[in-house]
Amino acid sequence: MLKGINGKKKEEMIQTASIVAGCLIYAIGLNMLITPLALYNGGFMGIAQLIRTFLVSVLHIKMPPGMDIAGAIYYIMNIPLFYMGWRIMGKEFFLRSLFGTTVISIFLLLVPVPGTPIIEDYLTACIIGGIIAGFGSGLILRGRGSAGGPDIIGVCCLKKRINLSVGQVNILLNMVVYGICLFMFNIEIVVYSLIYATVFSLTVDKVHIQNINTSVMIFTKKLGISKAIMEQTGRGVTTWDGEGAYTHMRAYILFVMISKYEVNQIKQIVHSIDPNAFMILTEGSTVIGNFEKRL
C-alpha cells in the first residue's frame, strides 16, 4: 500500500499514525486504569484533573456519566504553550503539537471511565497504567509531535540545550501538582499518584528515543560513506586513516554523533556502501558543544 508513496510522504504518514496511536494509548491508560481509582496525573493534566474535581465536588456541576472533561480543560490550558512551540521549534512542530493535543483531548473525552476500577490493586494499576500511558506519550514524541503541556516544555528545553528531558520536566511539574494534592487528599492518593507519575516519566524517556544521544564509530575499507552520511542526514562526520594491526591493510575510521532515532538510517547508509563495515554504537553519550537536537 505504501510502496507507491515517496519517502518523505511515507515518513509523514508513519509519524501521524504514531501520534494518533499514542494519543489513544495514553487516553486508555489514564481513563481506564488511573482515573477510576481517583488518582492524579502530573503536570498540566494533573492541574486539569484538579480543576475538574473542583467543578464537580465544590461547584457541583454535573458531568455526563463515564465522561471526563479534564481533556477539554487540558486543551484550553495548552493554548499559550502552542505559541512557545511555534517560536522555539518552528511551524512543523507547532502544527504537530496542535494536532496531537487536539486528538488526545478528543480521546480523553471519548474513552469511557469505568464505574468500577478494572484493576483494584493500587500499586498494580499505577505500574501498568504508567507503562501504558507513558508508552502512548512516548509514541507521540517519537512521531515528532507532542501532547502538549510538559511535552512542549521538555522538547523546547532540549532544543535550547537546557539539560532537561521530557520525563524530567514531567517529574518537576509533578512535584508542584502533588504538593497541592497533599493538602487536598489523603497521603495514600498522593503516594500512589507519584508512583504512577514516576513509571510514566521513565517509560516516556525510554520510548522517546530522539532524546537519547548515540555515538557511532565506523570502520570501513571503502570511500564515500562520510559524504553519504553528511548529504542524507546533515550530520557532521570526523574521519581519520587507520591500519589493521594484523593485516596491515588501510582502513578508514569515521565518527558521527546522532540521536537513537537516526540509528537505522545510519546503518542503511553504511551497509548500502560497505556491507562488511564494522560499527560501534554507544547510547547515552554526553555531548558538550554544537550538537543539533532533532526532536
Write the pLDDT tens digit of every residue in 76-95. Answer: 888 888 887 788 777 777 88
DSSP string of 113-158, one letter each residue: --SS-SS--HHHHHHHHHHHHHHHHHHHHHTT---STHHHHHHHHH
CA distance 188 to 184: 12
Q: Which domains does the chain have, with CATH numbers?
A: 7-210 (no CATH), 212-283 (3.30.70.120)
pLDDT of residue 61 exceeding 80, the answer is no
31, 42 in Cβ contact below 8 A? Answer: no
pLDDT of residue 242 exceeding 80, the answer is yes
**Model pLDDT for residues 146-184, shown as the tens digit of each residue:** 777 776 777 777 666 666 666 667 677 777 777 877 777
Maximum C-alpha span of the chain: 82
Query: ∠ CA(22), CA(25), CA(30), 5° rounding?
Result: 120
DSSP 198: H
% of residues, the chain, pLDDT over 90: 14
Average pLDDT estimate for 239-262: 86
26, 104 in Cβ contact below 8 A? Answer: yes
pLDDT of residue 196 exceeding 80, the answer is yes
CA distances from 218 to 117, 259, 263, 280, 290 (A): 52, 16, 12, 7, 21
Grid-cell match 553528511, residue found: 230
CA distance 179 to 184: 9
CA distances from 130 to 31, 69, 113, 248, 270 (A): 12, 21, 16, 54, 37
Grid-cell match 532540549, residue found: 158
- Report residue 227 as a C-alpha cell: 559524504
- Report residue 36 as a C-alpha cell: 477510576
Give the model's pLDDT for residue 6: 58
Average pLDDT estimate for 49-55: 83
**Model pLDDT for residues 116-141, shown as the tens digit of each residue:** 888 889 999 999 999 999 899 888 87
Q: Which long-range contacts (CB under 8 A, 24 or more apart) does 156-163 make?
A: 156/84, 156/85, 156/88, 156/89, 158/211, 158/293, 158/295, 159/88, 159/89, 159/293, 159/295, 160/88, 161/293
Q: What average pLDDT does the structure give for the chain?
A: 81
pTM above 0.75, yes or no: no
* Ranges assigned E (strand) in 121-265: 213-220, 238-243, 250-259
CA distance 40 to 181: 8
Average pLDDT estimate for 103-107: 88
Give the model's pLDDT for residue 25: 94
CA distance 89 to 189: 36
Query: Best-predicted range by mean pLDDT among 11-15, 24-28, 183-187?
Result: 24-28
Grid-cell match 521549534, residue found: 89
- Which of 76, 100, 112 is CA-nearest to residue 23? 100
